[in-house]
Amino acid sequence: MPAFLKFPDDASVVVTGAGSGIGRSTARICAEAGLRVALWDLVPESVESLSEELTHTGATLFVAKVDVLDEADIAAGFTATQHAFGHIDYLVNNAGPANATAVTFAEGLLMAAGSVANVTTAWLALGRREGDAVVNVSSVAGNITGAGAEPWYPSAKAAIAGFTRYLALRRPGGIRANAVAPGLIDTPRMVAYMDSDAAKSMIARNPMGRAGRPDDVGATICFLLSPAASYINGVVLPVDGGAQATE
């Protein structure tokens, strides 16, 4: 474990949507940092492969198939994870639909932002203690750009940012709450889009001259969870290579 992160011994984290992209990178980086990691995903095969990848690290992992839209499934997931790990110190709300998912506005808000609220509420109900932390995955689309193939997407991501600040102000159980706002990230979900003229234009305008990588976001999330970030609370941190600075 990197010494500066200062994670307690036997600390644990739940990562939703851990099977691919940002969630997968976050889970791997947290495991490499010494955390016990619960890999939650709707497709268990995707997290099973990650679990196999990480066996060489000696990481302690727990795999659960959880539908973050189903409150009973969420409760069962936490019960099983608690049985495996005991106290669950940290939570990463990463699961959510792709921005081009064709659903109604209300459905999109529920799938993307409502699921974050439901999972967080269930985690809080388990009992919190000072030092516990949650990081939610928002988007630059919810901050200033308003980007997204469907109107629900920037709206839901803005709702996630607002929910994060709400938690940060009230600090139930002494927790910290932060969010990351990724820009264009080269994930498996974005493979087709990365070859589009729109993506190439975004990369050309970006001060870093490239798209982000899942590890760029995963490492940021791991830091925000850690005691090294103990005075960071209520932040929605862009991980976008400076894209927002160009707006």
Q: Tell me the average confidence (pLDDT) per consecutive run of 10 residues in the chain, 247 residues long.
A: 86 97 97 96 89 85 96 98 97 86 88 96 95 96 71 91 97 95 84 76 85 94 98 97 84
Based on its alpha-carbon atoms, the radius of gyration of the chain, rounded to whole angstroms, reads 17
Residue pair 38/81 in contact (Cβ under 8 Å)? The answer is yes
What would the two tokens of residue 69 be?
């839209």
End-to-end CA distance of the chain: 37
pLDDT of res. 24: 96
**Residue 153 annotated to the active site:** yes
Pick the CATH number of 7-240 from 3.40.50.720, 2.40.10.220, 3.40.718.10, 3.40.50.10490: 3.40.50.720
Domains of the chain: which residue ranges?
7-240
pTM summary value? 0.94
Please identify which of the residues 90, 153, 193, 231 carries the catalytic annotation: 153
Residue pair 73/41 in contact (Cβ under 8 Å)? The answer is no
Nearest to 105 by CA among 177, 153, 39: 153
